[in-house]
């Protein structure tokens, strides 16, 4: 299963998150490298909050996909932080998601090289078989 997430989809997602966060004062916005960086930059401009290089208290923390929690779970206890992802492959509990997708769904973001996605997907599947 494959989902091509377009720039138009991205812009709508930025607008959605910005509307959810418009009345919250954040100390900054942190994007989890690499997937959350484009989203963090776009939201930084939209919400007029500074982009920060590490997660801090009262920050907006964003990523592209929540699948296993590997990247977001270690940050969960940051005081006052709010978390958003573009896609969640689990029903969100303590984080927020713009879209819910199936576990097997492969999402291609507009900033990715579509030729590399075949290799990336193969490596991803192989990594899941080993764990």
pLDDT digits (tens, 9 = 90+) for 2-56: 578 899 999 999 999 999 999 999 999 999 998 999 999 999 999 999 999 999 9
Closest CA to 59 of 42, 84, 90, 38: 84
Backbone angles phi, psi at 129, to 5 degrees: -75, -30
CATH 3.40.50.2020 is right for the domain spanning 2-130: yes
Largest CA distance in the chain: 44
pTM recorded for the entire structure: 0.85
Helix (H, G, I), strand (E, B) or coil at 76: coil
> In angstroms, rounded to a whole number, what is the distance separating the alpha carbons of residues 45 and 50?
8
């Amino acid at each position: 299963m494959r989902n091509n997430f377009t720039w138009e989809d991205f812009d709508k997602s930025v607008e959605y998150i910005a509307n959810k966060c418009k009345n919250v004062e954040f100390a900054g916005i942190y994007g989890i490298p690499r997937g959350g960086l484009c989203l963090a930059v776009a939201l930084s401009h939209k919400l007029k909050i500074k982009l920060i290089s590490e997660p801090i208290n009262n920050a907006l923390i964003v990523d592209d996909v929540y699948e296993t929690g590997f990247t977001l779970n270690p940050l969960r206890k940051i005081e006052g932080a709010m978390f958003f992802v573009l896609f969640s492959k689990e029903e969100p509990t303590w984080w927020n998601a713009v879209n819910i997708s199936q576990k097997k769904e492969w999402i291609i973001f507009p900033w990715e090289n579509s030729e590399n996605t075949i290799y990336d997907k193969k490596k991803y599947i192989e990594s899941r078989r080993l764990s």
